[in-house]
Amino acid sequence: MEEHLENQTVSTSIIEEDCVTLYETARSLFENNKTPSEARHLFQKVIDLYPSTHEAQYAADFIKKIDHKQDKDDFKLQQDMKLEFKGTAKEYFRIWVVNLCLTLLTFGIFSAWAKVRKKRYFYSHLTLDETPFQYLGQPIPILKGRIIASILFLLYYTSTNVFTALFPYVLGAGLLIAPWVIVQSVSFNARYSAFRNMTFRFNGTYADSFKVLSAWGLIPAMVIGNIFAWWGKYWMAGIVYGLFGIIFPWWLNRLKKFIVTYTSYGGCPGQFGATGGDFFRVYFMSGVIIMGFAMVTGLMFAITGIVAGESLTAKIPYATIIGILPIYAGYVLAFAYVNANITNAVWNKIQLGPLRFRCTLKGPTLAKIYLTNALAIIASAGLLIPWAVIRTFKYRTDQTQVKQSNNITEFQGQEADKVSAAGAEVSEFFDLDLAI
């Protein structure tokens, strides 16, 4: 028995020595930076042969570093395609003011033509490698879509404010219509967007969309719970909504992946590599930002109360306004941080045929743009809206790089189908963000 234990101990010791030797060899190759592929191979061997050791955990970290560095090196070696927006606030102002006036004079009917004029301006002034994009949408289908969207909104408004007994049925119908809206909206925008006379295409189906939107059954549970008022058990609502809040980053990631992977250009479908964990880190940090500013607000109120004493009540309006300023600042910064970093996480992991993308938006810069845009719009009574729109769009374009690994002729034209504009207008009417 003792002899068997000694043999087992010796065997374990030999295995540990082999594992350490293999790991150190791989690490030496990695640090010398001569043969990273060989180092990766040896690190993978450590993981395969000795999965339960500390060395295997360290090897997994090194593999991530090697892969990340390889991605960056590959991206640098690829050929640049210049993405540029050449529009100006002065040009867009003329389009915007005409659109606004005619939309008001026609009681909203001209809004369909206004949308087409705006889209065509932005598409035609956005160039990739000196070639402009094209918007092929027509106003009449958009107008029909807006009429349908208005009817649906009227039903929703009536069920929530007048005939409230109808609200559960409208909510249930909305659950069934939503996947169709997503598919039709993305399909319409893809079908009528073109580059080099080739249109984009979206091949997602209602079933695929419903599967993604259901959020592992939580969204149907929320809808059914609201229809039956949670059967008087509101703790169930708390659990379901709480779970959805936790999984929201993964749900959003699935939605983005659905849109990207079912979208194709020239016969090449999109590829998407971002994970729910990437999205979770962004939302977690935004929560930290808001909490930090909330603590500053609480501290300011506490200090004001100590200094002012009994007179605080008389000065409460001013104290409240000053005190909540950090909260608003924190919200703007957190919103900009999420917007910038989710956009980066999505575009940096997209590949479309030979094209890859690099997006480098900065949260603080975006927050500064949002804040100064808002102040300019207020100070100008809305007249600087075109300037704010152009400025924001140009910043986003300037921070996006496009790299080409093979010849762009890899894209081949494909047959295009007609797509209804109803879904796109419904999503726009209900402010659904389906952009990637």
The pLDDT of residue 319: 58
With cut-offs at 50, 70 and 90, classify the pLDDT of residue 119. very high
Distance, in Å, from the CA atom of 126 to the CA atom of 132, rounded to the nearest integer, reads 6
**What is the reported pLDDT for 243?**
82
Residue from 56, 74, 66 nearest 33 by CA: 66
pLDDT above 60 for 74 = no
- At residue 427 the predicted structure's pLDDT band, cuts being 50, 70 and 90, is low
Question: Is the pLDDT higher at 402 or at 319?
Answer: 402
Do residues 153 and 430 touch, judged by C-beta distance below 8 A?
Answer: yes
Task: List Cβ neighbours of 171 (8 Å cut-off, separation of 6 or more).
Answer: 223, 226, 227
Query: Which of 48-52, 72-76, 92-96, 295-299 shows the highest mean pLDDT?
Result: 92-96
Buried b (16+ CB within 10 A) or exposed e, 201-240: bbebeeebbbebbbbeebbbbbbbbeeeebeeeeeebeeb
Q: What pLDDT shows up at residue 75?
A: 54
**What ranges do the domains of the chain cover?**
2-77, 136-265+420-436
Q: Please report, in angstroms and rounded to a whole number, the separation of the first and last CA atoms in the chain.
A: 65
**Per-residue pLDDT at 256 exceeds 90:** yes
**Letter for the amino acid at 108?**
G
Higher pLDDT among residues 173 and 410, named by residue: 173
Nearest in space to 131 (alpha carbons), one of 199, 197, 78, 192: 197
This prediction's pTM: 0.75
Give the pLDDT confidence of 312-328 residue by residue, as tens digits.
Answer: 545 555 556 666 777 88
Q: Output the average pLDDT for the chain.
A: 82
Among the residue ranges 138-142, 166-170, 251-255, the one predicted with the least confidence is 166-170
* 3-state SS assignment for residue 313: coil
377 burial type by CB count under 10 A (0-12 exposed, 13-18 middle, 19+ buried):
middle
What residues contact residue 366 under an 8 Å CB cut-off, 6+ apart?
Answer: 336, 337, 339, 340, 395
pLDDT exceeds cutoff 60 at 2? no
Q: Which of 142-151, 290-299, 418-427 has the lowest mean pLDDT?
A: 418-427
pLDDT at position 252: 93
